[in-house]
Amino acid sequence: MSRGIPLPTAILLVGQHTVIRRAIRGTPHNTYTVMFGRSPVWTIMSHPSEEDCAAAIRIHCGMTSLTPAKRGRPARGNFNGAVRAARPAA
């Protein structure tokens, strides 16, 4: 294959995931874009595996365990040891 003729854009199926292969002009390299519906999720230069596609879509949808489950101020706690009992009312 000559370097001047790029491969056409192709739609590939990796497992159940859709991947678009596009040639980089003037080079023998390709980019692979993992799609979730009509939105691109991840673009890389090597052919993705099925696990890579699933992880990219999981992160895109926000279904990862890396995001905190609870947001906001932390609960008030005892950070510096025991707290002295309150004085009785006089």
3-class DSSP assignment, residue 29: coil
Stretch 81-90: mean pLDDT: 70
Q: Which residues pair with 19 in a beta bridge?
A: 12, 34
Write the CA distances from 80 to 18, 22, 76, integer angstroms: 53, 58, 12
Domain boundaries, the chain: 10-61
Q: For residue 6, how far is the Cα from the chain centroid?
A: 29
Q: Is the pTM of this model over 0.85?
A: no
* CB of 51 closer than 8 Å to CB of 42: no
Short-list 35, 23, 85, CA closest to 60: 35
37-70 pLDDT, tens digit per residue, is 999 999 999 999 999 999 999 999 886 454 455 6
pLDDT the model gives residue 88: 79
Q: Compute the distance between CA of residue 90 and CA of residue 15 in angstroms, rounded to an integer.
A: 75
